[in-house]
């Protein structure tokens, strides 16, 4: 499924967001769908509020948009993140700006309320690009970011998913027929923005894949895999099977297709997602190019997503129709 749109004017801001790949429509209650749509709109409005007053605010805008989704338990990022198979919650996040290609990322963090803000702090207050584990938590704490007990991120829904997965594993080991399906929660969040000065930025945040091995790091925090921004080409934030996004340098590959192959954003983004399919996985991404064109291809039932243009209202969608 490809969703592309064209920006109608130069020097106008554009913001696009995603809230991860959608599961089957039937698994989303009407109440839940309403809340997800409201959260996506709030995320777009928070980012757009920054872009309205700050013509160089693309980085702050993607942070604001992602923070709203990290705080919403319906997404797999921040509060509401999925569990590892050991019952822990381990989060990854990254941010990149396109002017100087500065970037910051954290992985395997457990106590930072908003991992995307920690990624930004790594970018702006350290000489590193990527900090992981307890040291990343400590770095954020020392820089004054809001820290929480790991129980803050817990939700009953994700806990129940883990219990269902465990009993399914146990029945497979004992040779019994497993009943029912286990929801693989996705719901990674991300944002890409173009500000009025022509600066692109991207940010992504996730709890990772459901029931992952403790210590596993996905693509979201890996610059060039799940997150990428470069003013000469585009900004990209991805979601889906992280290992495949890492193996195909997916986010960077969109930028490279623009830079070296002369592809349009729509073609480049679709090819990167098709490549994930070729490798046997599912995925989607959102991208904005330097002219403000937007592409949001995905290979799945749907992808929670939204856009807002300087002269328009927030527009959100979950499935194809």
**Looking at the annotation, which residues are catalytic?**
188
Can you tell me which of 199, 233, 239, 270 binds ligand ASP, judged by CB under 6 A?
A: 239
**Residue 305 interacts with ligand ASP (CB under 6 A): yes or no:** no
Q: Which CB atom, from 93 or from 123, has the smaller least distance to ligand ASP?
A: 93
> With CB under 6 A as the contact rule, which of the stretches 29-37, 109-117, 161-169, 237-245 interacts with ligand ASP?
237-245
Can you tell me which of 43, 58, 220, 231 binds ligand ASP, judged by CB under 6 A?
A: 220
Q: Which CB atom, from 13 or from 75, has the smaller least distance to ligand ASP?
A: 75
**Residue 115 interacts with ligand ASP (CB under 6 A): yes or no:** no
Minimum CB separation of residue 163 from ligand ASP in Å reads 20
Q: How many residues bind ligand ASP (CB under 6 A)?
A: 13
**What is the rounded distance in angstroms from the CA atom of residue 79 to the CA atom of residue 93?**
13
**Residue 206 interacts with ligand ASP (CB under 6 A): yes or no:** yes
Can you tell me which of 79, 108, 186, 299 binds ligand ASP, judged by CB under 6 A?
A: 186
**What is the rounded distance in angstroms from the CA atom of residue 226 to the CA atom of residue 10?**
27
Can you tell me which of 51, 62, 117, 209 binds ligand ASP, judged by CB under 6 A?
A: 209
Q: Which CB atom, from 41 or from 186, has the smaller least distance to ligand ASP?
A: 186
Interface contacts to ligand ASP, rule CB under 6 A: 20, 186, 188, 206, 208-209, 218-220, 226, 239-240, 242
């Amino acid at each position: 499924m490809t969703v592309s749109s064209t920006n109608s004017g130069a020097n106008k801001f554009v913001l696009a967001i995603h809230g991860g790949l959608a599961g089957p429509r039937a698994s989303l209650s009407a109440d839940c769908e309403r809340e997800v749509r409201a959260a996506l709109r709030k995320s777009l409005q928070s980012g757009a509020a920054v872009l309205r007053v700050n013509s160089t605010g693309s980085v702050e805008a993607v942070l604001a948009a992602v923070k709203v989704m990290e705080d919403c338990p319906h997404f797999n990022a921040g509060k509401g993140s999925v569990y590892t198979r050991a019952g822990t919650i381990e989060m990854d996040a990254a941010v990149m700006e396109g002017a100087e290609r500065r970037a910051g990322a954290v992985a395997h963090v457990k106590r930072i309320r908003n991992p995307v803000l920690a990624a930004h702090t790594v970018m702006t207050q350290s000489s590193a690009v990527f900090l992981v584990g307890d040291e990343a938590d400590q770095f954020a704490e020392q820089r004054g970011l809001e820290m929480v007990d790991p129980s803050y991120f817990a939700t009953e829904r994700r806990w129940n998913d883990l219990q269902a997965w465990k009993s399914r594993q146990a029945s497979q080991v004992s040779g019994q027929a497993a009943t029912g399906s286990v929801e693989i929660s996705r719901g990674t969040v991300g944002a890409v923005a173009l500000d009025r000065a022509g600066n692109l930025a991207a940010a992504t945040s996730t709890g990772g894949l459901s029931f992952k091995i403790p210590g596993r790091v996905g693509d979201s925090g890996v610059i060039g895999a799940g997150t990428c921004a470069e003013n000469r080409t585009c900004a990209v934030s991805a979601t889906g099977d992280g290992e495949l996004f890492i193996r195909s340098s997916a986010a960077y590959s969109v930028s490279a297709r623009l830079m070296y192959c002369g592809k349009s954003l729509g073609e480049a983004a679709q090819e990167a997602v098709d490549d994930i399919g070729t490798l046997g996985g599912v995925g989607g991404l959102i991208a904005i190019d330097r002219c403000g064109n937007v592409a949001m291809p995905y290979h799945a039932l749907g992808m929670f997503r939204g856009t807002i243009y300087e002269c328009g209202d927030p527009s959100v969608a979950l499935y194809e129709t």
